[in-house]
Amino acid sequence: MSSRPALVWFRQDLRLADNPALAAARKTGAPVIPVYIFDESLAHAPGGASRWWLHHSLEALSGELDKLGAKLILRRGAAAEILPDLVEETNAGHVFWNRRYFPGHIEIDKKLKSSLTDAGVEVETFNGALLREPWELKTGSGGPYRVFTPFWKALKQAGPARADTEANPRKLETKKANVKSDKLKDWGLLPDKPNWAKDFEPVWTPGEAGAREALRDFLNDDIGDYKDGRDRPDKDYTSRLSPHLAFGEISPLQVWQATRAKMSEGEVSDSAGEKFLSELCWREFCYCLLFYNEALPETPLREEFSDYPWRDDKKGLAAWRKGETGYPIVDAGMRQLWQTGWMHNRVRMIVASFLIKDLLIRWQDGEAWFWDTLVDADLANNSAGWQWVAGCGADAAPYFRIFNPVTQGEKFDPDGAYVREFVPELKDMPAKHIHAPWKAPDDVLDKAGVELGKSYPHPIVDHAAARKRALEGYEKIKRG
DNA sequence: TGAAATGTTGGGGCG
DNA sequence: ACGCCCCAACATTTC
């Protein structure tokens, strides 16, 4: 037992339960000092929507710590300098954190670990973010997996690295630490003038309690129709856990265990539960891809795609961002993203396919927009996802798989309810014509109060022609 | 975790 | 009764 305090450095693990670093700190018996450092100097600093979430998540974490008598210390700046300062200031004998896996982060953490260790501080790091570390699962030939299905099989076979989750601590050894902390509101994480996040509030509850509630609601109810329902943006059959997972308000192990428990109780069908867990493991797969391919966020994994004849189309990109492409399912998705900080996964694939293949705009441009606007923006998921749609990733959709936005709309939003919610100017269109208003007879448009080119745009590209153009571009890079 | 083009089959209308 | 055409409904191939 040591009287020198134990520092817990919170990062992408803004929770108290099932937090190995925090658990280790408690085990020392020393007073625990929780710390969060906001480092904007890093590449891939959080985008606007993530900053909104981060603010509220930190507020929630700080509140939970308060209940245990601990004060969350907030500091802003380069962790490489601030953490050693804090260690010195507090005379900490231990520092604990859960590992990060993104390029840049890893180097910082490694250096800190060795310099602090050299200075006589005991540093220990843990896996708090993944079911398995990227290096724990290898193919038969010893390399990392590059195809999802075998990865998923191997992970399912191996199971999570830890068997049990740890409950929320009820007690924490603390000491009145006289350590200065920033005020959260001074970080300016919240939007102001205008408050574009006002519609986020009714939709989301950032923080550990909100995460737990989202998981419980999903497993008790919405997961029933997950297998097919998860593809329906007009329904509420997805877990909406993504932002909670991105900020580590809940661990994948907690999700895994809770789902397995419901499955063995027979309350969740095997088909729905397995499908959901496989989606959870897409996240693991993406982390793996990024861990072994640092350039994933910028550079196509398949090199030939660097030569793809992309177009510079500022107007097209702007129309896509604003949800004014004239394709209702695309516009609904882009507006859902802007309004709520989130987009249904099926629609993410549709809008991404549209940007890349119909507009021939670089996937990196879409990735950047998602990064800024998604509350669940996650470097691994976002870059792997965009590469997947673009067809240049490891286990990517073939390039010629080009979504038809009309067919997709008719298939997955058959009544048009999703479009009506987010594209209100089409709310009086009948289901039959809502996904292709330009093909609707004049009297139908009149009756719905839609004037193409005025109240709702004409399609900015002709899909059939755009599809042909995209495939011709593919021929070019295939020939090299 | 597509879509479009092309091919095949089978039923019904019709001369 | 028969062949022929049409076309919907699938199936297969191709991008």
Catalytic residues of A: 279, 282, 310, 345, 363, 386
Number of H-type helices and E-type strands within chain A: 20, 5
Q: Domain A130-163+201-292: which CATH class?
A: mainly alpha
Summarize the confidence of residues A415-436 as an average pLDDT.
96
Residue A476 pLDDT? 87
Task: Find all residues with CB under 8 Å of A49, minimum gap 6, and list them.
Answer: A197, A200, A341, A372, A373, A374, A375, A377
pLDDT value of residue A463: 95
**Strand nucleotide closest to residue A475 (CA to C1'):** C15
Distance CA A170 to C1' B9 in A: 70
Q: Is the CB of A164 under 7 A from strand C?
A: no
Check residue A163 and give its pLDDT: 87
Q: What's the rounded mean pLDDT across residues A367-391?
A: 97
Query: For residue A193, what pLDDT band results from cuts at 50, 70 and 90?
Result: confident
**Structure confidence at residue A391 (pLDDT):** 94
Average pLDDT for A161-174: 89
Structure confidence by residue, pLDDT tens digits, A60-104: 999 999 999 999 999 999 999 999 999 999 999 999 999 999 999
Q: Which of residues 392-451 of A touch strand C (CB under 7 A)?
A: 398, 400
- Domain borders along chain A are 6-128, 130-163+201-292, 303-479
| pLDDT-derived band at A396, boundaries 50, 70, 90 | confident
Query: In this predicted structure, what is the pLDDT of residue A236?
Result: 93
| Residues A287-295, mean pLDDT to the nearest whole number | 97
Mean pLDDT of A182-203: 95
Name A residues 297-316 whose Cβ lies under 7 Å from strand C: none
Mean pLDDT, residues A386-401 = 91
Q: What is the pLDDT of residues A219-261, one digit of tens each?
A: 999 899 998 899 999 999 999 999 999 999 999 999 999 999 9
DSSP A294-346: TTTTTS-SSGGGGG------HHHHHHHHHT-SS-HHHHHHHHHHHHHS---HH
- Give percent helix, percent strand, percent coil of chain A, each to the nearest 5: 50, 5, 45
The distance (Å) linking the CA of A404 with the C1' of C9 is: 22
pLDDT of residue A478: 80
Distance, CA of A407 to C1' of B11, in Å: 29
Residue A480: predicted pLDDT: 58
Write down how long chain A is. Answer: 480
Query: What tokens appear for A165 in the block?
Result: 């989750």
Higher pLDDT, A295 or A475: A295
CATH 3.40.50.620 fits A6-128, yes or no: yes
Strand B CB shell (< 7 Å): A 148, 231, 279, 282, 345-346, 349, 397-398, 400-404, 407-408, 411, 463-464, 467
Does position A7 have pLDDT exceeding 70, yes or no?
yes
pTM attached to this predicted model: 0.96
Name the closest nucleotide to A468, judged by C1' and CA.
Answer: C15
Give the per-residue pLDDT at A394: 85
Residue A346: nearest nucleotide (C-alpha to C1'): B1
Nucleotides of chain C within 7 Å of a protein C-beta?
15
Confidence of residue A192 (pLDDT cuts 50, 70, 90): confident
- Give nearest nucleotide to A401 (CA–C1'): B2
For tokens 């398995």, the residue is: A132
Distance CA A407 to C1' C8 in A: 20
SS3 A473: helix
Q: How far apart are CA A32 and CA A403, in angstroms?
A: 52
Q: A303-479: which CATH topology?
A: DNA Cyclobutane Dipyrimidine Photolyase, subunit A; domain 3 (1.10.579)
Tens of pLDDT, residues A464-480: 999 999 999 998 888 65
Q: Angle, to 10 degrees, between the axis of helix A405-412 and the axis of helix A328-340?
A: 70
What DSSP line would sit under A142-193, residue for residue? SSPP-SHHHHHHHHHHH--SSS-PPPPPS-------------GGGG--S--S
Question: How would you class A75 by CB atoms within 10 Å of its CB: exposed for 0-12, middle for 13-18, buried for 19 or more?
Answer: buried
Distance (Å, rounded) from C-alpha A465 to C-alpha A476?
Answer: 17
Distance A462 CA to C4 C1' (A): 39
Q: What confidence tens digit (pLDDT) does each residue in A111-152 have?
A: 999 999 999 999 999 999 999 999 999 999 999 999 999 999
- What's the CA–C1' distance between A92 and B10, in Å? 82
Whether the predicted pLDDT of A1 surpasses 60: no
Band of residue A2 on the pLDDT scale cut at 50, 70, 90? low
Nucleotide nearest to A409 (CA to C1'): B2
Tell if A479 CB is < 7 Å from nucleic strand C. no
What's the whole-number mean pLDDT along residues A151-155?
96
Cβ of residue A471 lies below 7 Å from strand C:
yes
Contact A230, A79 (CB under 8 A): no
